[in-house]
Amino acid sequence: MKAVLQRVNQARVVVKGEVIGEIGQGFLMLVCAEQGDAPAQADKLLAKVLKLRVFADEAGKMNRSLQDLDGQGARGGLLIVSQFTLAADVSGGNRPSFTGAADPALGRALYEHLVAQAQRLHAPVATGQFGADMQVHLVNDGPVTIPIHIPAASPASR
């Protein structure tokens, strides 16, 4: 699975003119399931995201995770948006190929698994809408943008 995390002061997703997901300070997580991915990749990705220390502590150092965003025990928001275009391959020319992305049924299943696990382990969690034409609005903080790739297990290790 691939993800791009953006540390944000606020973010929201709009579908057909209606806000369907919104957070304050936290992460906007654009996520893409790839061919060969399984729930194990989604679980590893989520574990990494929840523990990633890129929020400032009292000294201004990137030393806090999403789960301990402020000293009061409050957690940062997590807005999870499916984005199959993260699987784009532009090595063959100027038109991207998306053949590395999981097929829509698997992509949806893994996205829904990731969201369910995130909701179980963290709050608040908001989402986009799988397969929809979405407008994503954000106020990037920093900016801090981090790509993460959790490769599918090789057939020999499955």
84 is catalytic: yes
99 is catalytic: no
Give the count of beta carbons closer than 10 Å to the beta carbon of residue 145. 12
Which of 6, 25, 67, 83 does the annotation list as catalytic? Answer: 83
Give the count of beta carbons closer than 10 Å to the beta carbon of residue 20. 15
67 is catalytic: no
Which of 35, 85, 135, 145 does the annotation list as catalytic? Answer: 85
Which of 55, 67, 84, 127 does the annotation list as catalytic? Answer: 84
Cα separation, 53 vs 50, whole angstroms: 9
Query: What's the residue count for the chain?
Result: 158
Residue 101 CA from chain centroid, whole number: 15
For the annotated catalytic residues, the residue numbers are 83-85
